[in-house]
């Protein structure tokens, strides 16, 4: 049995088939044929052992016993039962069945496993008079059955646990690469040849250190399975220890010789000390602690020893699972590209990512790319040659000395360049107007180009970017690509540091969602508007605490309110109340259902030295509050949400359905010669015509839209309501 050829199958992650086929040929495999996620081949038992011990790419090595008819579950049962299982199991053996695929009447793998298990147990009981035990967690032998319709392949799993589990990685980072995928990246990037030349390997974002450890094992000629304590063949009845020990001893000798001959420096960096510590622990377990250096260092502080010869940089930066995640990583990739180009001229680089769009932000053109899979996620490995430093530094210096509005830069696409030019044009015109009007916060861009559907607002020296959800007719990948292009362009086009760009995705908000925290930073920025000091939070909520489109309305209130009693319903952060107080209101009352925003409003009042005695904050459902309030007001401002189904409400609020009742209640609180301003941003809103029969109603929307919102004049509607004379 030991000298004959066996039919074998090596499984692997999708995309590694051709590499695995070449590797198996090096072990002496014959009749090698690639298939999806695996390679079939023939070889002796020695080749099978060598594949288990030395394959850097395979997940499992299966020894195929036979093919059986699986047209029905009875056929499958009979076929499995016909195998002489006492050649593989003894009385003390335990086993488990791994079933995959489908047959005409078996669509659930658990049921398929049960059919196979019953056949094995029944055969041994009927023919041998004893019954083996089943152990799903820690079996002596794993039996693999893969069904393809009317045929099923029955095999012994010689691996046991998946071969990617080398035994060294007890501690991982948040998103570790599987070891065999990491080895494939190194091979694709040309590391085996570079290691033989003594070139260095560097991972600037090393995480658990998997790329470095796999790279060190390649450089030191260490068999990846050498640290494993068990293989699937250990308790298999066909196991020949003499052959295995010969293969094992050879690997041990090669490890000793390989470790002594390594001349390559291998270095990793990670920004988190706890993660760097995990990587060091994994290295120590593999006996590579002296061969590989891992240091805690943020990407922004990356410094490469310029005495090192040019080698290979390989890393797997995060690429996010949701759109918001990707958007936040735009600048990480940009920094990574800049660092590599400046710090590592002449090196080769490999970047593995699940987002090719993000990879564009590296600012480098790949010389080659490979499609691979990280689990089920399609990914790409991009390979680069890093250009010389002197030319880049000269170009960078010239660029930085050029004023922002005169810079001419070609971005990743023609559309991105047009977007950048539009930002600069708006900055020149709207920015000039804002400076002259002493306006610190304004809208610079509002989906001027439909392809780049974002709103860009400036808050002093910060940029707040919101993406409008793309229509379903727009390809999701194309929309994502344009968003990431826009985020790449904005800092450079506006001359604002990347760490002062805040991105959020804007979708239709309902109920309490508009109050949902987006983050927990708690950073407040003080801005000035019309002599009022106001606090905005650019990070933690979808909105910032200041509705920029209502600037003219707040200024109007400030001019008209002197000596008057002011009521602010749905007050949000009470910015209109601050304007009223600073304009000389005799008193103000601000009503909202959210404690969060009322507390924010109190901070705005306090920032301006205003007393809560004269300027009250009330937490309540505005409709219910109006029913029970009996005070009189001279000026009322109402800017309700479009819709709210908050649990704190007695009833669902819908501005279209509820506004007549709301305004009738509010007008009961208005003094005879008072004024009520009603506003909302529901684009399809229609004011109830019956209100015009009861009151003097005048639409003033155009008078409340400032210069920076002229491109989106329907951003809100506003009416002035008074009593008929």
Q: Give the pLDDT confidence of 151-195 residue by residue, as tens digits.
A: 999 999 999 999 999 988 775 555 578 999 999 999 999 999 999
**Beta bridge partners of residue 679, listed in sequence order:** 718
CA distance 363 to 392: 12
The number of beta carbons lying within 10 Å of the beta carbon of residue 32 is 18
Q: How far apart are CA 707 and CA 443, in angstroms?
A: 9
- Give the tokens for residue 397: 């210096």
Burial 7-21 (b: 16+ CB within 10 A, else e): bbbbbbbebbbebbb
pLDDT higher than 60, residue 354: yes
CATH architecture of 179-220+263-392: 3-Layer(aba) Sandwich (3.40)
Quick: pLDDT tens for 310-338.
Answer: 999 999 998 865 444 566 688 888 889 98
Ordered strands of the 696-699 beta sheet: 615-619, 587-592, 565-569, 633-638, 670-680, 717-722, 696-699
User: Contact, 9 vs 65, CB < 8 A?
Assistant: no
Q: Which of 488, 517, 652 is nearest to 596 (CA)?
A: 517
Q: Report the SS3 class of residue 589.
A: strand
State the Cα torsion 325-327-328-330 to the nearest 10°: 130
pLDDT in tens, 366-393: 999 999 999 889 999 999 998 654 444 4
Q: Rounded CA gap, 70 and 58, in Å? A: 27
Within 10 angstroms of residue 513's Cβ, the number of other Cβ atoms is 14
What is the reported pLDDT for 298? Answer: 85
Of 31, 36, 59, the C-alpha closest to 47 is 31
Beta pairing class for 201-203 and 266-270: parallel
Tokens of 492: 């450079």
The CATH number of 6-157, from 3.40.309.10, 3.30.565.10, 3.30.2130.30, 2.60.120.10, is: 3.30.2130.30
User: CA–CA separation, 253 vs 256, rounded Å?
Assistant: 5
Find the helix packing angle between 210-219 and 179-188, rounded to 10°: 60
Closest CA to 666 of 656, 678, 657: 678
| Adjacent-strand bridge partners of 30 | 42
Residue 542 DSSP SS3 = coil
Q: Flag whether pLDDT at 484 surpasses 60.
A: yes
Question: What number is the average pLDDT over the span 695-718?
Answer: 94
Sorted by sequence, the CB contacts under 8 Å of residue 257 that are 6+ apart come out as: 221
Q: Do domains 179-220+263-392 and 525-722 have the same CATH topology?
A: yes
β-partners of residue 61 are 10
What average pLDDT does this structure show over 42-53? 98
Task: Report pLDDT digits (tens) over 578-628.
Answer: 999 999 999 999 999 999 999 999 999 999 999 888 999 999 999 999 999
Query: What's the pLDDT tens digit per position in 387-440?
Result: 654 444 444 454 455 555 444 444 557 888 999 999 999 999 999 999 998 899
Minimal CA–CA distance to 310: which of 411, 197, 452?
Answer: 197
Spell out the domain ranges in the chain: 6-157, 179-220+263-392, 405-507, 525-722
The whole-number pLDDT of residue 507 equals 54
In the CATH hierarchy, which fold is given to the domain comprising 405-507?
Transcription Regulator spoIIAA (3.30.750)
CA–CA gap between residue 651 and residue 666 (Å, rounded): 18
Domain 525-722 is of which CATH architecture?
3-Layer(aba) Sandwich (3.40)
């Amino acid at each position: 049995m030991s000298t004959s050829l066996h039919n074998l199958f090596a499984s692997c992650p999708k995309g590694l088939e051709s590499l695995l086929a070449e590797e198996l040929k090096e072990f002496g495999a014959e009749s090698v044929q690639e298939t999806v996620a695996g390679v079939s081949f023939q070889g002796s038992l020695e080749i099978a052992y060598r594949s288990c011990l030395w394959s850097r790419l395979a997940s499992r090595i299966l020894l195929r016993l036979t093919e059986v008819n699986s047209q029905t579950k009875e056929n499958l049962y009979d076929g499995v039962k016909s195998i002489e299982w006492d050649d593989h199991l003894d009385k003390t053996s335990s086993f488990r069945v791994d079933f995959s695929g489908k047959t005409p009447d078996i669509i659930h793998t658990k049921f398929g496993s049960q059919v196979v298990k019953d056949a094995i147990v029944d055969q041994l009981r009927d023919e041998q008079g004893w019954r083996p035990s089943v152990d799903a967690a820690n079996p002596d032998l794993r039996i693999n059955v893969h069904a393809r319709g009317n045929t099923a392949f029955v095999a012994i799993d010689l691996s046991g646990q998946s071969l990617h589990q080398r035994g060294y990685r007890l501690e991982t980072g948040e998103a570790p690469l599987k070891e065999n995928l990491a080895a494939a990246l190194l091979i694709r990037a040309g590391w085996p040849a570079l290691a033989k030349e003594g070139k260095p390997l560097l991972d600037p974002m090393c995480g658990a250190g998997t790329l470095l450890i796999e790279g060190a094992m390649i450089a030191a000629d260490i068999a990846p399975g050498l640290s494993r304590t068990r293989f699937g063949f250990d308790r298999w009845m066909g196991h020949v220890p003499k052959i295995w020990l010969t293969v094992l001893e050879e690997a041990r000798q090669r490890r000793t010789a390989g470790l002594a001959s390594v001349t390559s420096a291998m270095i990793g960096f990670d920004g988190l000390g706890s993660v760097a510590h995990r990587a060091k622990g994994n290295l120590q377990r593999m006996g590579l602690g002296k061969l590989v250096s891992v240091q805690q260092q943020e990407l922004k502080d990356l410094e490469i020893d310029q005495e090192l010869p040019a080698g290979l940089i390989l890393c797997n930066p995060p690429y996010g699972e949701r759109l918001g995640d990707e958007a936040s990583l735009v600048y990480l990739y940009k920094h990574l590209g800049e660092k590599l180009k400046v710090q590592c001229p002449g090196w080769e680089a490999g970047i593995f990512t699940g987002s090719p769009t993000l990879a564009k932000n590296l600012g480098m053109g790949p010389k080659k790319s490979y499609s691979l899979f990280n689990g089920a996620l399609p990914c790409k490995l991009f390979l680069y040659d890093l250009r010389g430093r002197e030319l880049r530094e000269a170009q960078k210096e010239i660029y930085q000395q050029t004023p922002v509005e005169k810079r001419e830069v070609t971005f990743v696409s023609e559309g991105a360049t047009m977007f950048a030019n539009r930002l600069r044009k708006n900055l020149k015109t709207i920015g000039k107007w804002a400076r002259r009007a002493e306006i610190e916060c304004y809208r610079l861009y509002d989906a001027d180009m439909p392809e780049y559907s974002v709103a860009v607002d400036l808050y002093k020296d910060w940029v707040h970017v919101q993406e409008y959800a793309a229509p379903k007719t727009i390809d999701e990948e194309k929309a994502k690509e344009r968003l990431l292009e826009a985020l790449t362009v904005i800092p450079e086009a506006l001359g604002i540091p990347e760490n002062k760009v805040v991105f959020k995705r804007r979708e239709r908000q309902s109920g309490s969602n508009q109050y949902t925290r987006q983050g927990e930073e708690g950073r407040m920025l003080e801005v000035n508007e019309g002599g009022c000091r106001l606090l905005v939070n650019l990070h933690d909520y979808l909105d910032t605490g200041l509705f920029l489109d209502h600037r003219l309305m707040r200024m109007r209130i400030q001019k008209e309110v002197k000596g008057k009693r002011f009521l602010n319903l749905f007050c949000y952060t009470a910015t209109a109340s601050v304007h009223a107080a600073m304009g000389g209101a005799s008193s103000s009352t601000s009503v909202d259902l959210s404690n969060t925003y009322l507390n924010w409003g109190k901070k705005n009042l306090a920032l301006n030295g205003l007393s809560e005695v004269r300027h009250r904050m009330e937490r309540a459902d505005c409709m219910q509050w109006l029913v029970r309030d009996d005070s009189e007001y001279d000026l009322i401002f109402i800017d309700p949400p479009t819709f709210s189904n908050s649990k704190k409400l007695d009833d669902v609020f819908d501005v279209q359905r509820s506004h007549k009742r709301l305004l009738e209640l509010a007008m009961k609180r208005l003094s005879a010669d008072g004024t009520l301003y009603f506003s909302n941003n529901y684009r399809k809103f229609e004011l109830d015509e019956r209100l015009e029969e009861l009151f003097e109603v005048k639409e003033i929307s155009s008078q409340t839209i400032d210069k920076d919102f002229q491109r989106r004049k329907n951003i809100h509607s506003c009416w002035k309501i008074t009593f008929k004379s």
